[in-house]
Amino acid sequence: MRARFWGTRGSLPVALTAVQVRHKVAQSLLLAEGRRFKDQAEAEAFAATLPFTTAQTFGGSTSCVELELQAPGKEPHEYILCDLGSGVRAFGNSVLARHGPKTPNVFHIFMSHLHWDHIMGFPFFTPAYIPGNKLRIYGCHADMEAAFRRQQAPPSFPVDFDYLGADIEFVRLEPGHRYDIAGLRVTPKLQLHAGDSYGYRFEHRGQVLVYSTDSEHKLDSAEETESFVRFFFGADLVIFDAMYSLADAVSVKEDWGHSSNMVGVELCQLAGVRHLVLFHHEPVFNDVKIAGIEAETRRLEALTRQDAPKLSISAAYDGLEIDL
C-alpha cells in the first residue's frame, strides 16, 4: 500500500507569497556559492540536495490523501481517497492526464467529516463532471449528500450538483463496524470534533494505515486513550491531526477539535505504530515552523522511546509519498 498526499493543510488553503518565494531563491543562491549549472536537470539535481525548507514547501492544499493498492495504468482503475479538500483538484487533473477523459474510473472516497476544508475541492474535481466515472462517497454522517449539494447551490457556486455527469452514490457507514470495500478492510471510528468526525483504519494484506484527522483528545480518560490505542494498534502508518502544540490544544484552543504532535507520539508509541505522519498543519505556520515541529517531534520520540522500536516521524507535505 502507498499513501500519496495531495493536501495536508488544515482549515484553509495557503500559498507561498512572493516574498517567501524570493527568500527561498536567495537562500538557494547563497548555498550554490557561485556554482554554474549547464542545464535545468543539473540545477534540479543540486536543488534536491538543499534543505527542504529552502528548496521546497509543505504546501497549502487542504486534506486529501490517496491510498494506492496497485499502481494505475492507462486502463480503468479503482482509486481510493480520504477527504475532498482542495488537494483533490490536483489529484483529479493527474487522473485525467494519465487516462484521458474517456476512461471510466471508480473513485472510493472516505469522508472524515463535512467541514468546508474537507469538501471544498469537490466542485473542482473534474472526473465528477464526466459521464462514465463512478464516485462512491463513504462516511458516517447522515447529511453527507446535503453538504455536497449545498456547497454547489446558488449563490455559492455556478454549477449545480445535478450537472455532475458521473454516477455518484453516497454510502453511509456505521462507526465500529468493519467493511470490505475496494479490496480494503475498513473500520470507521467516531472522533471528537464539532459535528463529529470519523477516523478510518484501513487493512490490506497485513498492512495497516490509519487516517485520523480533525480529532481532539481530551486526555481526561484512560478509557478514551485506550480506545485510540486499539484503533491505531500495530499500524504501519498513522496520519494524525497535529495542528496545535499540546499547550494550545488544552488551553486557548480547547474544544476546537484538533490535537498535537505530543499526543500523536504517545498514542503511536502505546499502539506500537511504525510511522507517524503529522497532518492538518495550522495555516499560519510557515515551512520553517512546520519543519521545526517535525524535528521536535522526532526528538520527543527519541526521548520517550525507552526499549520500544523506533517510531518514524514525518510532517506531511503536498506530494509526499510513503510506501508501507
Q: Residues in the site for another protein, rule: CB under 8 A?
A: 217, 219-220, 222, 225, 245-248, 250-251, 260-263, 266, 296-297, 299-300, 303-304
| 202 neighbors 236 (Cβ within 8 angstroms) | no
Q: How far is the CB of 201 from another protein (least distance, A)?
A: 21
Q: How far is the CB of 16 from another protein (least distance, A)?
A: 25
- Rounded to the nearest 10°, the torsion over CA 8, 321, 286, 296 is 110
- Minimum CB distance to another protein smaller for 95 or for 242: 242
- Minimum CB distance to another protein smaller for 39 or for 223: 223
Q: How far is the CB of 266 from another protein (least distance, A)?
A: 6
- Minimum CB distance to another protein smaller for 164 or for 263: 263
Q: Which residues of 246-271 are buried (b: 16+ CB within 10 A; e: fewer)?
A: beebbeebeebbbbbbbbbbbbbbbb
- Minimum CB distance to another protein smaller for 20 or for 304: 304
Torsion angles phi and psi, residue 195, rounded to 5: 80, 5
Q: How far is the CB of 299 from another protein (least distance, A)?
A: 7
- Minimum CB distance to another protein smaller for 152 or for 260: 260
Q: How far is the CB of 239 from another protein (least distance, A)?
A: 19
Kind and range of the H or E run holding 91: helix 88-99
Q: How far is the CB of 250 from another protein (least distance, A)?
A: 5
Q: CA separation (Å) from 169 to 108, 109, 179, 291?
A: 10, 10, 17, 39
- Minimum CB distance to another protein smaller for 66 or for 266: 266
Say whether 116 sits in a helix, a strand or coil. helix
- Minimum CB distance to another protein smaller for 3 or for 300: 300
Q: How far is the CB of 222 from another protein (least distance, A)?
A: 5
Name the grid cell of 264. Answer: 500523536
Name the grid cell of 148. Answer: 455536497
The one-character DSSP state at 155 is T
Q: Which residues of 174-199 are buried (b: 16+ CB within 10 A; e: fewer)?
A: eeeeeeebbebebbbbebbbeebbbb
